[in-house]
Structure 1
Amino acid sequence: MKEVVVLTLLLLILGWALASVWSAYCLYVGIRDLRRGANWWAHLLSFSLFTALAVWLRGLFSMGLNGSEECQFIHRQPYDAAYVDAHTAEYNKWFPLHSKCNASYDMVPAWVNPVVVLALVVSLVSLVGLVWFAVARWPFSRAMNDTSST
């Protein structure tokens, strides 16, 4: 049963990735032609959410399963067990992502957390744009305006 769930999740993420490639193309065409309708905002929302998830997963998987071996053999950094034990609560948080080998080296790339924040801000802006566009183009808004003017 676990295999079916994992396969289903992988297929959903792959489908979302393909849709995000299409969204990136639609965003490019929309910026080039200065056509920004509801679909453009929806594509921006989908693309930015996918970017946030993909970058966050990149940061999550860069932590490795065994911190000491990951630090010593992959990153060629000394592993400070006392430092890691003193800051255990920091590594168990969902955000910001950190996984330090010692006081000066983090296995999570420095660009991961700012890109996640930026992508989530773009998602919020695109959601506001999508809602604004939907309210501004609401079918009943013209009917309400027409009845108030008579």
Structure 2
Amino acid sequence: MKKLILLTGIILLVTAAFAFISYQEDPWKVPEKYEKLKNPVPADDASLASGEELYDYFCLSCHGNDGKGSGKRALKLNNTPTDFTLDIFQQQSDGALLYKIYSGHREMPGFKKRIPGNQDAMDGSFGKTRIPGDIVNYIRSFAKKIQQH
């Protein structure tokens, strides 16, 4: 009986190790044309207010009020939502954030077709409206909120 328990434990450990390794080997690759994009929308009060409204609608349930991945739906997911306050996240280019919002990854859906006026914006641009830029500006504001406290 002890051998069976030990064997089961070893199998579970090996399975967990492989799952962790495969998770680490699944980076979110961003095409080069997006890496170089700069957000054309200034991070002014109007942009941040619009971005907050959009964030509340599209992102809040998983990423939470504080942007740390602590939304109500986060506990039901297999992968923890990204923490927007981390330096490693904030160091990404505006275009990388845009691409990730548009394309999705793992359990995060892509929002390209859900963002009004931007259905054709996967061409490596911020699209025809301010909306994607507003969302990127608001997501960037989480790091500034942390620095102020």
Larger Rg, first or second structure (1 or 2) = 1
| TM-score clears 0.5 | no
TM range, smaller chain:
under 0.3
Compute the TM-score of the two structures, normalised by the length of structure 1: 0.25
